[in-house]
Structures are given as structure tokens and as C-alpha cells.
């Protein structure tokens, strides 16, 4: 018999300290960054183990109300309940069909009309050089048409079991898409930093995964008279000015300075994680900057910005090299470059992103994606329609 109850920040942190692959999106300090959401740390407990037992699973749940005034009867109190990269659990201790029913019950009682959950998992993985080749050839429409790398049998069995359990519990699988979904993309670019035995790879082996052009540019960046340094919170305004320039040039909507100040402060206040600001300068001119997060055995390139000046010095490459070096030094399994599209159409608008990330040596990993449990199917359908039109 399992039960769910709120846990403190300290209790949540202690649990995650033993989960080295947990995402920073499950860090209990993350809600202080996502201020537009309400949040709750929940623990799942084996009721037979007594009141002092540690949780067998934990989840940071973010809540967001429907886009209606709170005073509207009934609907004004309804919320989306969202677990990015959670719940976090050890499958050897408990399984989804034990953990999710009491969690669903708790979230229903909290007013959830829709529960959205993205379990940390890997379905399949494709090697960087094979995806690069297929994208250049233009003979396939989707990464899913390619032969994946051989999967770890235990991991594959677990993931297949989770899919069956999710369907049996009433969760809906994510719809196929070549665009980035709201939330965490199902297809992600990750550079492996360990071998099959789990040993940390030499830097030269990681760089050898890059294509010839990326290796050449990375080497040039080390001879370009750049100064690469680690900044602090006082450098965030300079970062943000460069980030705003990048957003304007690349036509995307950027986040405000306060968001990065909150991220830097909160993730560095946690004993689980670190948030680092890297800066690349030529003389006194800031040419590139990057925000990097590490938690446990995972590292993420979260945000980057660059100037249009002095492009031949390859400042962004110098920062990528530094982040890879620091990830290796920390003993990380993966260096995550974020999401990409599964499309292999060379003319697809997001093809350039896939090309860049795989030329950096990143394999493509397909996760389970974000599954929906529609507590109120009508409201859930209306909400998804609203989000698709934003």
C-alpha cells in the first residue's frame, strides 16, 4: 500500500541526492524560477514502512490554472498538473503501477483537470554520424526510420513495461510531431561522455565524435586569442544584452533578465546542482556566453548567446569545448544539448538545429515523451487546443 503526501524542500533534496540522473527540472528549488506556476514537492511512501521511512519516489509538480479568472465557479480553480522529468524513482524499489494511482488521486484532489508527466527514460538512440549522413542524403523523412543503436536489454524491458502500465492506467501517449511540443521535446541531443562500462571517455574521444568542420572550428577557437572565463551574477546583465541581441538576430522571443538571475541564484543555492555562466571575450569585447547546468551525472547546455562580430574566432565553439571539459571532469554520463526535431527533411525549418547538434557529436535520444492523464477529458481537450493555437 502506497500513499502520497507533501514533503519539505530538505526531504526532497535528501531523496534526490541518491538519484544521480535526476533532472534539474525536478530540483525542489526550480519553482522559485518558474514563478508563474504554483508548486508542490510530493513523496510516495510505502505505508507499511512506518512514518519515519524515506520516500520510494518523489515528484516536483507544477500547477497552472486555466486561463480564466479565479472567481469563475468551478473552472476557476481547475489546474494543469505538470511533472517535467518526473516522478523520480528507483525501478528496483517500486514500479509505476504502485506509485501512480495514489499520485493521481492526490492530484485530482488538488483540482487537476489534466496530469501531464514526462518520465525520465530512453526508448531508442541513434548515433550522431548516422543521423548526419541521413540528413545530408535526404532519403528519409524521419529519424525513426533509421536503425537505432543496440539498446540496453534491461532498460528496454523497463521502458516497454512503463508504456504498458501507462496505457493501462489511462494515460495517453504523445502524438507524433516534427515540431517542438509544449514542454520537454521527445527527441533530444546528447553527447555521451562514458563508455559502455561507464568509464569516463578521454577528451579526444569525445571530440572525435564531431564532424570534420566542427573539430576544425573548435581547434581554431583555441588559437583565436579568446579569453574564456567563468562569470558570476554581476555578469548576468552583460549576458542578457548579448542574449537579447541573439534573440533579435535569430527571431525568437527571449526571457527577461530576472529569469536568469533567479535560475543562477536558485540552482547554485541547492546542494544538488550548479549553474555556471561562461564568457568568451576577445580583448574587452564579449563575443559569446553560455549558461550551463549540472546536477548529478548530467550536464546541460541550457542557453547560449553570441555576437555577430569576430565570427572567425569561433567563440561559441570555445565555450562548447569548455563545457565538455568541465562535464568530463565532473564525471557526467551525458552532456545534453537540448531538443531537436525528428524530421530528416533537409529543407525543414528545424533541420539546421539537428545538423548543428549532430555535427557536435550528439547522439539523438528518443524519450517516452510527455503523457497525459485527462481527469476531465473535455477541459483537457479544450486546453490542448488553446495551447496549440498560442
Q: Say how far apart CA 195 and CA 256 lie, in whole Å.
A: 39
**Among 46-60, 93-107, 172-186, whose mean pLDDT is lowest?**
172-186
- Alpha helices of the chain — where are they, by DSSP H? 9-16, 96-109, 128-137, 153-169, 203-207, 212-221, 236-250, 257-269, 315-329, 351-359, 377-388
Average pLDDT over residues 83-103: 92
pLDDT at residue 199, as a whole number:
96
pLDDT range class, residue 145, cuts 50, 70, 90? very high
Average pLDDT over residues 290-319: 97
Average pLDDT, the chain: 93
**Percent of the chain at pLDDT exceeding 70:** 95
- The pLDDT tens digits for 308-351 are 999 999 999 999 999 999 999 999 999 999 999 999 999 999 99
Average pLDDT over residues 263-284: 98
pLDDT at residue 155, as a whole number:
75
Q: Is 78 left (phi over 0), alpha (psi -120 to 50) or beta?
A: beta
Average pLDDT over residues 164-173: 96
Average pLDDT over residues 144-155: 83
pLDDT at residue 302, as a whole number:
97
pLDDT at residue 65, as a whole number:
85
Average pLDDT over residues 167-178: 90
Q: Say how far apart CA 362 and CA 334 lie, in whole Å.
A: 10
Q: Say how far apart CA 53 and CA 33 lie, in whole Å.
A: 30
Average pLDDT over residues 25-37: 97
Average pLDDT over residues 77-95: 91
CA dist 311 → 15, 99, 194, 210, 334 (Å): 45, 51, 32, 20, 28
Instruction: Indicate whether 39 pLDDT > 90.
Output: yes
DSSP conformational letter for 229: E
Instruction: Indicate whether 19 pLDDT > 60.
Output: yes
**Among 10-19, 20-29, 148-157, whose mean pLDDT is lowest?**
148-157
**Among 32-46, 69-83, 166-180, whose mean pLDDT is lowest?**
69-83
pLDDT at residue 362, as a whole number:
98
Instruction: Indicate whether 71 pLDDT > 60.
Output: no
17 Cβ contact partners less than 8 Å away, ≥ 6 residues apart:
271, 272
pLDDT at residue 93, as a whole number:
80
Instruction: Indicate whether 72 pLDDT > 70.
Output: no
Instruction: Indicate whether 299 pLDDT > 90.
Output: yes
- Asked if omega into 87 is within 30° of 0 (cis), the reply is yes
- The pLDDT tens digits for 189-235 are 999 999 989 999 999 999 999 999 999 999 999 999 999 999 999 99
Largest CA distance in the chain: 65
pLDDT at residue 74, as a whole number:
59
pLDDT range class, residue 176, cuts 50, 70, 90? confident
**Among 97-106, 246-255, 361-370, 376-385, whose mean pLDDT is lowest?**
376-385
Instruction: Indicate whether 22 pLDDT > 70.
Output: yes
Domains and CATH numbers, the chain: 2-120+370-388 (3.40.630.30), 124-152+175-366 (3.40.630.30)
pLDDT range class, residue 51, cuts 50, 70, 90? confident
Instruction: Indicate whether 76 pLDDT > 70.
Output: no
Give 71 or 170, the one with higher predicted confidence: 170
Instruction: Indicate whether 20 pLDDT > 70.
Output: yes
pLDDT range class, residue 276, cuts 50, 70, 90? very high
Amino acid at each position: 500500500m502506497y500513499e502520497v503526501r507533501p514533503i519539505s524542500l530538505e526531504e526532497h533534496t535528501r531523496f534526490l541526492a541518491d538519484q544521480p540522473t535526476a533532472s534539474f527540472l525536478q530540483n525542489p528549488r526550480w519553482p522559485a524560477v518558474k514563478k508563474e506556476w504554483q508548486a508542490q514537492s510530493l513523496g510516495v511512501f510505502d505505508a507499511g514502512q512506518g512514518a519515519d521511512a524515506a520516500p520510494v519516489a518523489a515528484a516536483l509538480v507544477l500547477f497552472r490554472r486555466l486561463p480564466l479568472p479565479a472567481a469563475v465557479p468551478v473552472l476557476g480553480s481547475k489546474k494543469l498538473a505538470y511533472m517535467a522529468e518526473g516522478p523520480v524513482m528507483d525501478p528496483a524499489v517500486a514500479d509505476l503501477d504502485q506509485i501512480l494511482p495514489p499520485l493521481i488521486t492526490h492530484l485530482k484532489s488538488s483540482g487537476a483537470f489534466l496530469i501531464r508527466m514526462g518520465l525520465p527514460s530512453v526508448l531508442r538512440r541513434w548515433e550522431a554520424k548516422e543521423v548526419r549522413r541521413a540528413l545530408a542524403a535526404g532519403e528519409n523523412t524521419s529519424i525513426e526510420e533509421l536503425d537505432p543503436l543496440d539498446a540496453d536489454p534491461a532498460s528496454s524491458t523497463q521502458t516497454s513495461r512503463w508504456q504498458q502500465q501507462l496505457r493501462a492506467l489511462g494515460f495517453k501517449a504523445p502524438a507524433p510531431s516534427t515540431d517542438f511540443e509544449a514542454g520537454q521535446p521527445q527527441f533530444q541531443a546528447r553527447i555521451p561522455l562514458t563508455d559502455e562500462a561507464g568509464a569516463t571517455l578521454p577528451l579526444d574521444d569525445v571530440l572525435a565524435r564531431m564532424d570534420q568542420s566542427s573539430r576544425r572550428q573548435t581547434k581554431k577557437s583555441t588559437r583565436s586569442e579568446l579569453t574564456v572565463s567563468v562569470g558570476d551574477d554581476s555578469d548576468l546583465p552583460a549576458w542578457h544584452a548579448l542574449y537579447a541581441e541573439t534573440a533579435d538576430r535569430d527571431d525568437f522571443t527571449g526571457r527577461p533578465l530576472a529569469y536568469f538571475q533567479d535560475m543562477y541564484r536558485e540552482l547554485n543555492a541547492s546542494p544538488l546542482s550548479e549553474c555556471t555562466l561562461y564568457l568568451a571575450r576577445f580583448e574587452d569585447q564579449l563575443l559569446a556566453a553560455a549558461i550551463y547546468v549540472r546536477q548529478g551525472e548530467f550536464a546541460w547546455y541550457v542557453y547560449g548567446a553570441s555576437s555577430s562580430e569576430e565570427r572567425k574566432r569561433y567563440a561559441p565553439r570555445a565555450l562548447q569545448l569548455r563545457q565538455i571539459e568541465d562535464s568530463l571532469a565532473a564525471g557526467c554520463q551525458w552532456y545534453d544539448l537540448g531538443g531537436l526535431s525528428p524530421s530528416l527533411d533537409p529543407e525543414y525549418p528545424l533541420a539546421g538545429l539537428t545538423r548543428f547538434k549532430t555535427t557536435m557529436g550528439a547522439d539523438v535520444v528518443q524519450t517516452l515523451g510527455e503523457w497525459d492523464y485527462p481527469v476531465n477529458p473535455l477541459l483537457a481537450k479544450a486546453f490542448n487546443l488553446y495551447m496549440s493555437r498560442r
